[in-house]
Amino acid sequence: MKHLKELKIKLDALVSLKNTREALFENPDPLQVAKIYKDEFIALLCALFAYGNAKNIVNFLNKLDFSLLDANEKQIRKNLKGLKYRFQNEKDILEIFITLSRLKNEISLNELFTQAYQKKQNITDAILAFMQRIRKINSYSSHGYDFFFGQIWKNEPTSPLKRYNMYLRWMVRKDELDFGIFTNIHTKDLLIPLDTHLFKISLTLGLLKRKIYDYKSVLELTQKLREFDANDPIKYDFALYRLGQSKEIDTWALNI
C-alpha cells in the first residue's frame, strides 16, 4: 500500500507536468497533428494510423490531405495517390478515406460512439459498434485495411484496442492535451490505451500483474488506475507513456 501511495503522489505530480500543450510538443506524437484541426474524423485517422515509430507516424500524417474526407468518391480516387504507410498500401488508404467519407455523410462519430456507449456505459461496446458500422459501409478487405480498422470479436476482444482507446481519450477527456468533444461519455469509463511500452512500464511499477499483453491487461490496469482517480483514471496515460519514452522508468522504479 505504501508503494502505491508514493506512486500516486509521484504520478499526480508528473501528470501536472506532462498533461500540457508544451509537453505534448517535446517529442513527436500523432495528437500534435490532430490538435491542428480539432476534428473528430481527422483525429480518428491520426489515432488509427498511430502504430510504429512516432516520428514516422507524424511525418506520414502531415502528408495527408484531410479535406478529402469532405470530397466525393471520384475526387478522392483522383487526388489520393502515391501514399502508403507500413501495412497500408495506396489502395488501402484510398478505401479508408472513402469509408470515412461515407460514414461522415451518415452520422457523426460523437453520435455513433455515444449511442452505443450509453446502453451499458461500456466503451468497448462503442468501439465494436463503430467497427460493425464500418463493415456495412464498405465491403473492401485487405490485410492493411483490416489491420487499420481492427478485427470484430464475438464475446470479448483479445486485442488491447490501444488506438481506439487513445482516440476516445482524446475525444472524451478535456484538458490542455485532450479535446473533450464527446461530452456524453464519462471519463470514468475510459480504458487505458495500452501499448507494449506502457505494458512493460506498468509491470515494472507494480501497477499490473498480468504478464500477457491483451485486453484483460487493459481492464486490470485501468481498474488499478481507478484507485488513484475513480473519475478520470486515464489522465495518467500520457504521463506514463512519456515516462517510458524518456527512459526514466528505471530511476522511477528505484525511488519508489
Average pLDDT, the chain: 94
Q: Is the pLDDT of residue 27 over 80?
A: yes
Q: Compute the distance between CA of residue 180 and CA of residue 12 in angstroms, rounded to an integer.
A: 20
Burial category of 181 from C-beta neighbours within 10 Å (exposed 0-12, middle 13-18, buried 19 and up) = middle
Which of the four pLDDT bands, split at 50, 70 and 90, describes residue 1? low
For residue 137, give the 3-state DSSP assignment.
helix
Strand positions, DSSP E, 82-208 = none
Which of the four pLDDT bands, split at 50, 70 and 90, describes residue 228? very high
Q: Is the pLDDT of residue 43 over 70?
A: yes
Tens-place pLDDT, residues 138-160: 999 999 999 999 999 999 999 99
The reported pLDDT for the residue numbered 4 is 80
The reported pLDDT for the residue numbered 143 is 97
The reported pLDDT for the residue numbered 244 is 73
* Residue boundaries of the structural domains of the chain: 2-254
| Cβ-contact 134, 205 below 8 angstroms | no
For residue 256, give the 3-state DSSP assignment.
coil
Q: Is the pLDDT of residue 248 over 70?
A: no
Q: Compute the distance between CA of residue 216 and CA of residue 183 in angstroms, rounded to an integer.
A: 27
| Cβ-contact 238, 225 below 8 angstroms | no
Per DSSP, the residues of 56-93 read: HHHHHHTT--GGGGGS-HHHHHHH--S--BTTB-HHHH
Tens-place pLDDT, residues 207-224: 999 999 999 999 999 999
Query: CB neighbours of 126 closer than 8 A, spacing ≥ 6?
Result: 112, 113, 114, 116, 117, 168, 185
Average pLDDT over residues 134-141: 97
Tens-place pLDDT, residues 70-123: 999 999 999 999 999 999 999 999 999 999 999 999 999 999 999 999 999 999
Place of cell 508528473: 14
